Chains A and B, each alone.
Chain A
Amino acid sequence: MKKTFTLFLFLIATIALQLSWLRIFGWTPEFLIALLVAITIFVNLHEMALFVLLAAALVDWQPMLSMDMLALLLIPFFIFALRRASPWNIWAGTALFAILSVCIFYAAAGIPREVLGSRIFILNGLLSAALSIGFVFLLKVVGLRPERRLFAR
């Protein structure tokens, strides 16, 4: 229960940070995607579903389900499965999966190819990787332990 509550607080704070940052600066680091990638280490499938749905409910911006929203709902599960099927070390895997998630998300959102290939976008991906690693570190500091199944192989 402590884990669920801790992750709930992290999620709310992250969404608040992302929306406020976007309002103030007109651009935001990918806090939410980075956090969703980070928590795939600490949760089981049911908890993953809870946090992904909660995130989607809080950031959804239109009545119809859009491709962006569908991507936000599915990417964490894809990363969740990938983590358990791949031999990557936690830190390297987190960085790689954060970059991958940002690329998949914006490609699904229909962002033009010239933007996806721009220097800003690449920097955004690298920043997301750093943020995701930061979240993993913070979650460990507050006492969460990675799921044992991560090390099953």
Chain B
Amino acid sequence: MAERGILAFLIILLTVLVFAQPYLAWPVRHMFERSAGLTDANKLAIDNESLRAENAILRERNTVIPPQFSSEKEANVFVRYPFNYKKELLIDIGKNSDVKEGDTVLLPDTSSGEKRGILVGRVESVQDKTSLVQLIFDSRLRIGVRIGDQGVEALLTGGDTPKLTLIPKSAQVGSGNIVYAASANLPYGVVIGEIKDVSLADGGLLQEATLRFPYELSDIKTVVVTR
């Protein structure tokens, strides 16, 4: 009888926890998700890629158009999506900090005092004190991008290994070329990463490429939300 009583009490307690106070269990999650954070090498690589993206845009357009941000808010990562295929983060700012759906989420370039950074995702939904961020590694994500000095257009398809697709066969792209955003719902020119390998797509009419990123997804502890 006592055993049944304990069981019923635990079920009620957990129901309240799951439906009303889910954040109370997040400290337990942190024990399993601890990470070292970005290393100095990661930060240097982010700075380097941001500068190379600006140079690429300079050569492509003959003018520098740095990404324009009207606001920047720093946020800490609470928890991550615990399964596969979706890559989402919950951050600790929301409507209380004027975050809106579609805002751009960056890993900031910390060395220069300028507003630069590398794109990690965009805000998917906003609550009062938290926001859910869809990362570029999410299999549902599609972003229009440009590659290198020539500004070759391509489509970034998210996933565990994000890929660039729809690259024209005649385009001169190769390992090390910088990739930056060229999508209506993102600031133009925000750097995403650099090309790792290029190959012919199925059918041989187009090229596709894999990307190299200057950070590890699991090391992201703080981000900057921009608009």
| B83 and A68 form a contact (CB under 8 A) | yes
Query: Is residue B218 within 8 Å, beta carbon to beta carbon, of the partner chain?
Result: yes
**What's the interface size class on B, roughly?**
35 or more
Interface residues contributed by chain A, number (CB under 8 Å): 42
* B33-70 interface (Cβ within 8 A of A): 33, 35
Name the distance in Å between A53's Cβ and chain B's nearest Cβ.
4
Query: In the complex, what distance in Å separates the CA atom of A50 from the CA atom of B32?
Result: 22
Query: Is residue A152 within 8 Å, beta carbon to beta carbon, of the partner chain?
Result: no
Query: Is residue B201 within 8 Å, beta carbon to beta carbon, of the partner chain?
Result: no
* A49-93 interface (Cβ within 8 A of B): 49-50, 53-54, 56-65, 68-69, 73
Residues of A within 8 A of B19 (CB): 65
The proximity string for B residues 6-17 relative to A, scoring 1 for CB distances below 8 Å and 0 otherwise, is 011011001101
* A77-126 interface (Cβ within 8 A of B): 105-106, 109-112, 115, 124
Residues of A within 8 A of B17 (CB): 53, 57
Query: Is residue A20 within 8 Å, beta carbon to beta carbon, of the partner chain?
Result: yes
Query: Is residue A143 within 8 Å, beta carbon to beta carbon, of the partner chain?
Result: no
| B140 and A110 form a contact (CB under 8 A) | yes
| A109 and B25 form a contact (CB under 8 A) | no
Name the distance in Å between A18's Cβ and chain B's nearest Cβ.
7
Query: Is residue B132 within 8 Å, beta carbon to beta carbon, of the partner chain?
Result: yes
| B28 and A62 form a contact (CB under 8 A) | no
- Given contacts A46-B8, A111-B140, 20 further A-B pairs with CB under 8 A are A1-B3, A19-B33, A23-B32, A26-B160, A27-B84, A56-B14, A56-B18, A57-B14, A60-B18, A61-B29, A61-B79, A61-B80, A62-B88, A62-B127, A65-B18, A68-B81, A68-B83, A106-B84, A106-B85, A112-B139
Q: A-B pairs with the 3 shortest C-beta distances?
A: A53-B14, A19-B32, A59-B82
A-B contact pairs, 29 of them (CB 8 A): A4-B7, A15-B32, A18-B82, A19-B33, A22-B80, A23-B33, A24-B218, A27-B84, A27-B160, A46-B8, A47-B7, A49-B11, A50-B14, A53-B14, A56-B18, A57-B18, A61-B80, A62-B79, A62-B130, A63-B127, A65-B19, A68-B86, A105-B83, A106-B85, A109-B85, A111-B85, A111-B86, A115-B85, A124-B84
**Which residues on B are within 8 Å of A, measured CB to CB?**
3-4, 7-8, 10-11, 14-15, 17-19, 22-23, 25, 28-29, 32-33, 35, 79-86, 88, 90, 125, 127, 130, 132, 137, 139-140, 159-160, 217-218
